[in-house]
Amino acid sequence: MQGDKLLIKRGHTVTATKVLEVISPDIEKSDKYTISVGGESGAGKSEVASELARLLEERGQPTGILQMDDYFIFPARTTHRMRVNNLEQVGMYEARLDFMQCNLRSFKRGDPDIYKPLSIYEEDRLTTEVKEVGHLKVLIAEGTYTTALDFIDCHVFIDRNYRDTQIDRETRARDILDDTMAKILEREHEIVREHRKLAEIVINKDFTNIEVVRR
């Protein structure tokens, strides 16, 4: 999503490095490898995905990122207003995960490019773009619900709830942190916490370690 701010800290780099220690042998053996980075709002998904991509690029493995924020049915600010007006709006149906799945499948089968949505935050507008992926070795899908995606070789989940992420969300300063926002985050928490069990790798809330849940 255009206009998003990244606040990369040492912990993001540390855990990204540890994730790659686990999955690098699988990446080496694959023609096309996919990773998802999921978790609650403000958990650090974009930052971890960015560090994974940077480290992979440094190792000579071209890497791209798909952001779930681009795949919401409505632009970011509109989505937030709809959530404020009706908590029932909060859920996996807010995003076109089917579209994201199609893009991941296209990458896996070796298509040279994908046609995808693009969210422009400052303008509260959705458009589309063609993203070249044929040259990429790895494609990372990051976003709240991405742990539930198919066509993913390794699901990474950040185990931080909305209480753990309060300071980061305040620093990010994208949302108004009031009682309504608390209810939205609580509802999201009830959905996303169930995704932990779908992950192969879980990053702890302090960004000091990872747990390999299943491989």
Domain ranges of the chain: 10-212
CB 62 within 8 A of CB 54: no
Tell me, what's the pLDDT at 51? 98
Percent over 90 (pLDDT), the chain = 81
Tens-digit pLDDT profile for residues 176-191? 567 888 899 999 999 9
Question: Any residues with CB less than 8 A from the CB of 126 and at least 6 apart, and which?
Answer: 74, 75, 117, 118, 119, 120
Claim: this prediction has a pTM higher than 0.85: yes
Structure tokens at 153: 């070789």
pLDDT at 5: 72
Largest CA distance in the chain: 49
Correct CATH for 10-212 of 3.40.50.300, 2.60.120.10, 3.30.360.10, 3.50.50.60: 3.40.50.300
Beta-sheet pairing, 125-132 with 113-120: antiparallel
What is the pLDDT, as a whole number, of residue 214?
73
Considering only 9-23, 75-89, 194-208, which range has the smallest mean pLDDT? 75-89
Task: Please report the beta strands in 97-209, taking only residues with DSSP state E, as ranges in sequence order.
Answer: 113-120, 125-132, 138-142, 154-158, 201-203
